[in-house]
A and B are shown apart, each in its own frame.
Chain A
Amino acid sequence: MKCSNYDRHEKGELDETEFVRHAAGCTSCREILRQDAEIMALAKDLRRPVQAPGLWSRIEKALEEEAVKERGRAPLLARFLRLAPAAALILAAAGLALYFGLKTRLPSSPSGILSSIALARVEQTEREYLEAIEALEEQTQPQMAGLDRELMFLYKDRLETVDAQIRRCREALESNPANAHIRRYLMAALHDKKETLAEVLNLKSGTPEGT
């Protein structure tokens, strides 16, 4: 027969210490506690990694497509509204802006070319990445020198691979600066470099994990 003290405990009417003390002498509560512990252990065991390869690519694509749609939707209208307090001059200026806006409207399918504004934003983000990378490189130099040899070679190789990718993307961008795809991959490489340097910085004691 189930003891009412368990329900009281679950409702907060009986605190943990009191309940454990009670359970020491109550077969029913002790058994329930044991079963609960087993259930919780089994539930925790369900925290296994779920494989979903390609999911991020789908999400990224959806976000990019949405970004392009938003760019196509009269962005200048937002700017117009922000500057609304200025009267007739704004209207005239808005007319001119609309003219330029029509000229720059992208085709209905997702565009592979960044608008000037988007490109400026991307270049700004790239500069921020480069600043972060520079700071990290300074900090990781002593850390790299203290690494286990094999680990050091591994990270050096990784960084060289990433640097090669950055170089390739930059070369491609010299003749194609607003290509969205190349910019995306340059950004990914910069991100990769930043994460790799952060990883080096976070290594414990300069030896492979687990030792």
Chain B
Amino acid sequence: MIEDKKKDGNKRGRYILISLALISAFLAAAYPASPAAKSVLSKKFSRTAASAQGKVLTIDDTQGDLTITGGAGDRVNVDAYVEVGDRDEEFLKEFLAKTELVLEPYADGLRLRLRSPWDEMRENRSGGGLLKRLLGDGRFDFSYSARLIIRVPAGQSVKVDNSYGDVLIEGVRGAHRVINQSGTVRVEDCGGQLEVDNSYALVEVSGFKGPVDIENSSGEVSLKSIEGNASVVSSYKPVTFSTIGGNLTVRSESADVTGSGVAGDCEITTSYKGIDVRGVKGRLIVSGQSASVTADDISKDTVVESSYKPVRVTRVGGGVKVQSDSAAVTADDIGGDVFIRSSYNEIAVSNVRGSVDVDGDSALVSVRGIQGNARVATSYKDTEAATIGGWLDVRSQSGGVKASDIKQSVSIVTSYNPVEVYRVGGSLNVDGDSAGVLAEDISGDVVVRNSYKYVILRRTSGSIVVHGDSSPVEVDEIKSLPAGGRIEILTSYKPVTLTLPADAEVTIQAKSEYGKISSDFPVFLSGTDPNTVSTKLAAKLGEATVLVRIETSADIRITSGRIVVPGKRDKK
């Protein structure tokens, strides 16, 4: 019997052991990472104190979420919710018992602090029974979190020094200063003046009636509806803004800056990202190393300094200055003068009410619709100019040039690529080494110097001077020959064809070294040199008010063209 009881007892014991083992296993499965469960306790603290509009509330050295709301009345009311967690619940109760919310007179107002044993723990880990208990087993499980809800008179200034918590300030007017770290700062519908110094989290200010000064390292900044000047210093995270009532200054690094609606001047510096600014009533100054730039609707001058990424400037009331490096530049609808310096990528300027000056090294340049003068310096790529109200000056190196509808004079220097000019109101001057030249409808004098390539002139109205080196020359459809003017075509090795109006009154002197001279006009042999085979011919037609001098070593052909009657169909 006793043995049976013993056996039963052993069996029961085994069942209990197995049960305990199973329970432990269950708890281990339920709490996989912690050897024992944690307790979390929370306690609410409240304080209130008299204050007044215009006073300062200083919130010192807190670590938690703060919500500060302005309202009517003349008291500061604070509710603080403190949450603590640890394995030892008794310790937590003791901790909370020693925690104090202090709201005391200070400087020009009140100071708010949340005092607890944790303050000492953070600074000094030695001494005190409370601290020893925490460090006893080498494992620090204690955790702390605080949230403060603060109601202040609406006209209070607020000074905050916080960290690892989010700060929200609403409806308070005063001189506010917020220092925070690793927590968002939001200021909504406040006024007065604002300084924020934050890091690693968002700063968002909206509806602020006054100037705003934000410093946010590695944190996003958002400004909306600021009735005053705004200044932002930040890095690495985007800056956005809208509706700034005063001037805006943004100094950022490697961050996008985007926004619209600045009532005053706007100055933006960033790098490696994008700048997009629209709707600035004052001046815009942008500095963006390796940053793309888009600026639109700027009432006054715009200055851009950038590199490598595209620049686009449109609808500017004042002048535009762009200094870039290897960036494509577009400027359109500009009220003042435009100055652009860039390289290697396309530069396109259009609809400018002032003058244009473009310096594009190895850049394709296009200037169109310029009311003033246009000056272009480039190389290796083509230049296109159309509809210029003043004069046009193009200095290119090995770049083709095409110009049309130029109201005043045109001056082009280039080489190796063709020059085409159409409809010029003033004179035309082309210097093109190994560059073909085609010019039509030139109202003033034409002077062309080139080599090895053709010169074709049609419908000119002034004097013509062509000095070519092995350049074939063709002049046709002359509209008019000014009295006292001249046509001087000097070239070598290539033929010259000149078509004079049938009623031309010219003196012709033509000389060819080795070629033939033919003429539709009556000419006479003016001389031969016995030592050469050159032929000289001369003619005098009508009053001979224009001197025509042609020299080449190839054939010369002088033909009689149409009698040109303005406004009527040409007759031969």
Contacts and interface: CB of A to CB of B under 8 A. Distances in A.
B26 A93 contact: yes
B204 A54 contact: yes
A112 B23 contact: no
B42 A107 contact: yes
Interface in B538-568: none
Interface string B49-69: 000000000000000110000
A65 B213 CA distance: 32
A39 B263 CA distance: 35
A199 B204 CA distance: 27
B145 A111 contact: yes
Given A179-B145, A211-B308, A116 B29 contact: no
A90 B85 CA distance: 28
A175 B121 contact: yes
A189 interface: yes
Interface stretch (A9-17, A24-32, A135-143, A154-162): A154-162
Contacts of B235: 161
B140 A104 contact: no
A175 B31 contact: no
A178 to B, nearest CB: 4
A124 to B, nearest CB: 8
Nearest to A169: B182
B164 A182 contact: yes
Contact of B38 (A86, A92, A112, A116): A116
Name which of A86, A120, A165, A175 has the most chain B CB atoms within 10 A of its CB: A175
Contact of B39 (A86, A104, A169, A185): A104
B517 to A, nearest CB: 54
B1 interface: no
Interface stretch (B215-223, B365-373, B413-421): B215-223
B240 interface: yes
Contacts of B290: 208-210
Contact of A93 (B27, B84, B204, B220): B27
Contact of A106 (B40, B141, B253): B40
B201 interface: yes
B254 interface: yes
Contacts of B34: 116-117, 119-120
B173 to A, nearest CB: 22
A168 B22 CA distance: 43
A92 B19 contact: yes
Interface in A194-211: 208-211
B217 A161 contact: yes
A44 interface: no
A112 B164 CA distance: 11
B184 interface: yes
Interface residues of B, number: 70
A185 B19 CA distance: 43
B72 interface: no
Contact of A189 (B200, B309, B310): B200
A178 B184 contact: no
Interface centre among A93, A119, A180, by most chain B C-beta atoms within 10 angstroms, is A93
Contacts of A73: none
Contacts of B183: 181, 185
B22 A175 contact: no
A176 B144 contact: yes
A33 interface: no
A116 B33 contact: yes
A161 B217 CA distance: 9
Contacts of B39: 103-104
A76 to B, nearest CB: 6
A165 B199 CA distance: 9
A185 B202 contact: no
Interface in A60-89: 76, 79, 83, 86, 89
Nearest to A184: B182
B33 A119 contact: yes
A154 B146 contact: no
Nearest to A94: B26
Contacts of B155: none
A101 B142 CA distance: 19
B182 A185 contact: yes
Contacts of B147: 109, 112
Nearest to B19: A89
Nearest to A165: B200
A4 interface: no
Interface string B440-451: 000000000000
A211 B144 contact: no
B81 interface: yes
Contact of A168 (B19, B32, B181, B289): B181
A181 B145 contact: yes
Contacts of B166: 181
A54 B202 contact: yes
Contact of A158 (B30, B236, B238): B236
B272 interface: yes
Interface in A85-133: 86, 89-90, 92-93, 96-97, 100, 103-104, 106-107, 109, 111-117, 119-120, 123
Contacts of B22: 86, 89, 93
Interface string B77-89: 0000101110001
A153 B133 CA distance: 47
Nearest to B184: A57
A119 B87 CA distance: 14
Contacts of A3: none
B240 A53 contact: yes
Contact of B85 (A109, A168, A178): A178
Nearest to B140: A177
A53 B220 contact: yes
Interface string B1-42: 000000000000000000100110011011111100111101
A163 B472 CA distance: 72
Contact of B37 (A103, A172, A189, A208): A103
B258 interface: yes
Nearest to B223: A53
Contact of A210 (B65, B184, B217, B309): B309
A174 interface: yes
B271 interface: yes
B326 interface: yes
Nearest to B145: A112
Interface of B: 19, 22-23, 26-27, 29-34, 37-40, 42, 64-65, 81, 83-85, 89, 118, 121-122, 140-147, 163-166, 181-184, 186, 199-202, 204, 217-218, 220, 222, 235-236, 238, 240, 242, 253-254, 258, 271-272, 289-290, 307-310, 326-327
* CB-CB nearest 5 A-B residue pairs: A112-B145, A120-B33, A178-B143, A53-B222, A116-B34
Interface of A: 49, 51, 53-54, 57, 76, 79, 83, 86, 89-90, 92-93, 96-97, 100, 103-104, 106-107, 109, 111-117, 119-120, 123, 150-151, 154, 158, 161-162, 165, 168-169, 172, 174-182, 185, 188-189, 192, 208-211
8 contacts: A51-B240, A53-B220, A100-B37, A111-B83, A113-B145, A165-B200, A168-B181, A172-B163
